A and B are shown apart, each in its own frame.
Chain A
Amino acid sequence: MNKIFSLALGILAAIGGFVDIGDLVFNVSAGATFGYQLLWVVVIGVVGIITYSEMCGRVAAVSGKAVFDVVRERMGFRVGLFALISAQVVNLMTLTAEVGGVAICLQLLVGLPYRWLIVIAGIALAIVVWVTSFDWIERIFGYGGLCLLVFAVAAFKLHPVWGAVGHGFVPHLDTKSPLLYAYFTVGLLGAAMTPYEVYFYSSGVVEEQWGPKDLGLNKANAIIGYALGGFLSFALMIVGGSLFLDKGLEPGFLGSIALGTEVPLGQIGLLLGIVGILFAVGGAAIDTLFSGAYNMAQFLGWEWGRYRHPSGAPRFTLTWIVLLVLALGAVLTGVDPVQLTEYAVIFSAVALPLTYIPILLVANDRTYMREYRNGRVANTVGLIYVAVIMVIAVSAIPLMILTNVGQN
């Protein structure tokens, strides 16, 4: 019973934890630009993240190796270092966007000046991470993020044309701007398969000392958590489509995303929407913060772990402090978090192959994975996604330039 209970808790936290600023921005603006046409892309993205997060969780549980251990072992020092640097740059951009997102939500809630709130957000995050145990961090932000379910209610209340919604799950191209369509496809896939999710998850599996007996839990976590997270993504896109499409509106501001809940549900809806975004983005900020420190420590062989007290893993601790300070500095320059999110997601798409290919390689290694190595299904799906990821990685930046970051 206890196990089922803890699984349920984990899943609830995962739903709240799946959606971050990248998903918010790309799903709502994809809806605003193309209506429900791109819903099928979310399905592809979710199956991809389920496949690779199950795989990296399994590798971590059986071999005790987290993602950047694996990247270095398989890609070697030179390519691995390149992968580390690109991952860290993307991670820092994402972190900056998430911290900015937290400040924006706080501003919507309390109305103090934005710059003040950036500093408050930074200090609050540092204190939460320093004094709260990780189980509680996960619970607080996971459950808080569940407020995002209000978007699902809003999606129903906006009475979308369900036939059109259903049609969106069938890949089709009905637009005069195929480039923009391709840009949003890449962005939605990048947002769903964000690499920091696998860095964070695999490191967590090593820290919790999962072993082969926990592989069922690993699979359940990946499938149920991300599938329900995908459900939230659908809701966001449907809200974006019902509310902004054909109105000439662009959700270029995080606050207008929350408007999606105010129109059908009033003040309560707006409040829940903002609180949901606050916790989702805050939780994602903590995940990215730690991912950056995990990657660094795993590549260089330092002691690491969020369950270790800060003085138990000093260089790991120093790394996340430095990352947080850098991100705060970047937000204070006044960079627009929503715009930055678009860049972060597109650049992360470029970094995807260097993350996912080593995982696929190790998942096939007999020496470390024994009878738990990839079966035919995982390999077939894994290889298909390597192909998908390669296409995304090559086309992401050209598409970004050609569409002027999704503007035309």
Chain B
Amino acid sequence: MTSRRVHIYLASIIFVLANGVHAQQQRVSSRDADREVLVWNQRPSEPLFVTSRSESQTGAGMGLWYRDRGFSVSLLQPLFFSNTGGYFVWWVALHNQPGLRMICFRPDTNKQFGASDIGANLQDLGDLKLIKTGSGSRFLFAVAGDGQLRLVSATNAAEKHLSIDYTAAGQVERIRDDFEREATPQYEGEQVRRLFQTWVEHGNRYLTAAALK
């Protein structure tokens, strides 16, 4: 038996033991994750989404968030349109208030809709809808396979992009950004339960997973 093979055996035993430790840690983290949601992380050498307790206070239960100036918004929520009312509906969490607030984008001019609460406007581009906030963030929506207007791209004021791919059923397939970071959700029914994330730091690629609220 070569020494390399011995090393492999030892490594395998360590793997088995490490698995047990991980399983224990995972149970703890699942319990903690009940109180937390994940927020887009701007630091390129860390995962795309990291946990935050502040957004979890909203009680929205929609797990991935974008934090803007003065408000946060769930990246998984669809953009509703009221046919008879003629306005778009978006839910945001204002940082100075608990709970969620319904924002209506009502028509200003042809193809332009406004919502002064968060200083944002919405441009109707036909198949695409574009929301621009007062802080310079942009959110692009397209009709997904489930017929809902889903967020396909978010851009912050520093022109950093986040893009979201969807399956035919309208579920998020993959989220990517400019720094080769990726996040892949795992669904249970219609709920995202886990998020697998990869990112690069000093030439190494890391993988992590987190349970979502």
The answer to whether A and B belong to the same complex is no
